[in-house]
Amino acid sequence: MVSLLRTLSTRSRIHACAVGAALAGVLACSGAEAGTPCADVLPQASAPAATMRDFVPDDLMRLRDIGLPEGGMASSHSPLSVSPDGRALAFVVNRAHPETNSYCRALAVLDLASGRVRIVDRGGELITLSYILRGMLEQPGFPDLVVPFWSPDGRWIAYRKKLDGVVQVWRAAADGSGANAVTALADDAETVGWTADGARVLVGIRPGIRETRTRIAEEGRSGYLYDDRFNPTTGAFPKITGEHPRVILSAAPDGSGVRTADAREAAQMGPDVTLGARSEFDARSAHGRAWTTREGFLGPLRVHVENARGERIACAAEACSGKIAGLTWLGDSLLIVRKQGRAHSDMAVWRWTPGKGDPVQLVAGEDVLQGCTAASGKLYCLRENAVTPRRIVAIDPATGASTTVFDPNPEFRNIRLGTSRRLFFTNNVGLDTWGDLVLPPGYKGGRLPLVVVQYHSDGFLRGGTGEDYPVHAFAARGFAVLSYEQTPFYATSKANPKDDNELMTINNKDWAERRSLLSGLETGVRKVIDMGIADPARIGITGLSDGASTVAFALINSDLFAAAAMSSCCIEPESVRTYGGPVWARAMQGQGYPKATKPDPEFWAPASIAQNAARIDTPILMQLADQEYLLSLQAWTALTELGKPVEMYIYPDERHIRWQPVHKQATWERSLDWFDFWLRGKRDDSPAKAAQYRRWEAMRQPPK
């Protein structure tokens, strides 16, 4: 698993949940009854004060989300949509409902003057990301960003809503008086907009995807030709391939008719909102335009400004380049959100008035700021940190002072979390990174078992990339947790690669990238050991995707780890040659991996679990998606043949990122049990888990 958004994935459907709310006081709503499955999609305003208690996994499950789940994931669009008069924000709230294995979703409007929040529409299924990778349509299970769009007169909000497996466009009255479907299409709505006069809603679709799917089904009547369309891990059928041009439709807002947009209308459709569609940012106002361009393949972003007269204004200040995470205009000032500091571990907001001096820093620190947008003379952002879930804040552009205007998860005020401390370290090739060390509530000293969670650590610490290993639940059970932010690509320390293939070729030579990542991780773990906190005999490691590849490499090349858990597995000779399909095999061969006709045990010696199974004694828990588990079979088979302690679970209808709440629950519970058993000698006395512990006890016995 080379990268979260470069890996194997596929289809799925999601269950719907009728979203309701019973709200009073500061929260207003349109009539849902208390006690309905999704009544708490927004917090209950009149809920009684609770006593302090420890964190449990269900607290993470029921987190109310606004925007993308990973705090550091930048997008060129904000999930906070500003009304035309600048007095309100519209956004989508998402909350898992494990009892029905579904999600509660609501379109909400926040009045900035009063702080009141009202639901203006509800319901729908989770919309997940789709994109083309190596010519194939991929759907990794990661949530897609849903951005509401206000009508020019501010009376209506159009947004995407998934029903019965298809993403449609809906329109909701901004005052909460009603909502209606604008489209009833056979194709997913990918983009939304309004004509300048607000008379029609614009919708972007890709009908070629449905047409290709129909052709594949027809082909199956006579058998599929095995060719470049196949990725065996995702199923015994061809994948949808090729580019599918977008078609812009024009719809009457009341849903009375949809037609192909004329040229004038199509020109008014805004840019693609889809995550990863572009790395550049674009902000426009009456005072001019600001945008970014990237300097080279992996180079820094550079801010460019053009005033209302079309004149370019240069900014040579450091704040105008680097890891730019957002741009927005506030009057005649440009607000720049930027990652900076050691290893780019801080986020900052800079204010620059073009032509009037250098940018001035307003805010800086470890808190993650996401989706920042200007309204009513202030900057509104989603703000979070390691121990504080995301909330909407207002930042004063004069002083940088931050005020919370809406906290979607007030329950966390009564949940006892451990302390978090950021540690910095440098790996063997001089690359800097960090880890957030989380200690149990009330920790007074002494050696603790340590669990490493990978591979990004920013914002509220959920469970690492993919959220499979709940940081605060481990801490509540008495573990120290090192939430590890992986080092930058090895290739960037040695060269300036011009494209992805060159980058990966440099990274893969003599497993340089894997060695670099393991070096950084080991340095961090040893730092926690040297602090007198981690017990060197009780270190666990976890990972998904690229993090899982680090786990596998660590099991072969390190003696630090006493237990491991993986959510994907494995880069092995057969997975590279066969199970990923012909296109992936050629891509890997182009990056230096051996061909099937030229086995190379020496090449695989540092990285293949199967080839090193005889000397791996670390207990390994594998919890895998059904559409990826084939990649694990070579490693699992070698380990089990030798009687090694390994257990594998396969989750049905899953993707690279787990999307089903019940599967998230099961993953968390089993992971906690696994590390409790192997690192703390603890077990859950539930009779339902008796067989689990009998298997694990048997693993302690030497193979016969």
* Residue 628 a catalytic site member: yes
* Residue 656 a catalytic site member: yes
The alpha carbon of residue 583 and the mean position of all alpha carbons in its chain are separated, in whole angstroms, by 26
User: Which pair of structure tokens corresponds to residue 485?
Assistant: 């932010």
Would you call 614 helix, strand, or coil by DSSP? helix
Could you say which of 9, 78, 545, 632 is catalytic?
A: 545
Q: By C-alpha distance, which of 211, 235, 241, 244 is closest to 12?
A: 235
Stated as kind and residue range, the H or E segment containing 664 is helix 661-675
Would you call 419 helix, strand, or coil by DSSP? strand
223: left (phi over 0), alpha (psi -120 to 50) or beta: left
Could you say which of 628, 647, 663, 671 is catalytic?
A: 628
Strand pairing category for 102-111 and 88-97: antiparallel
| Contacts with 687 (C-beta within 8 Å, 6 or more apart), sequence order | none
Yes or no: say if 338 and 322 are a contact pair by the CB < 8 Å rule. yes
Alpha helices by DSSP H, 226-271 = 263-266
Yes or no: say if 609 and 657 are a contact pair by the CB < 8 Å rule. no
Distance CA 84, CA 86 (A): 5
| Contacts with 218 (C-beta within 8 Å, 6 or more apart), sequence order | none
**What one-character DSSP code corresponds to residue 220?**
G
- What count of other Cβ atoms lies within 10 Å of the Cβ of residue 196? 10
* Residue 75 a catalytic site member: no
User: Which pair of structure tokens corresponds to residue 105?
Assistant: 């979703």
Provide the sign of the torsion angle of the four alpha carbons 142, 653, 462, 563, taken in this order: negative
Could you say which of 77, 97, 344, 656 is catalytic?
A: 656
Distance CA 505, CA 469 (A): 31
Would you call 403 helix, strand, or coil by DSSP? strand
Would you call 322 helix, strand, or coil by DSSP? strand
Distance CA 216, CA 242 (A): 13
Would you call 557 helix, strand, or coil by DSSP? helix
Strand pairing category for 432-439 and 480-485: antiparallel
Which residues are known to be catalytic? 545, 628, 656
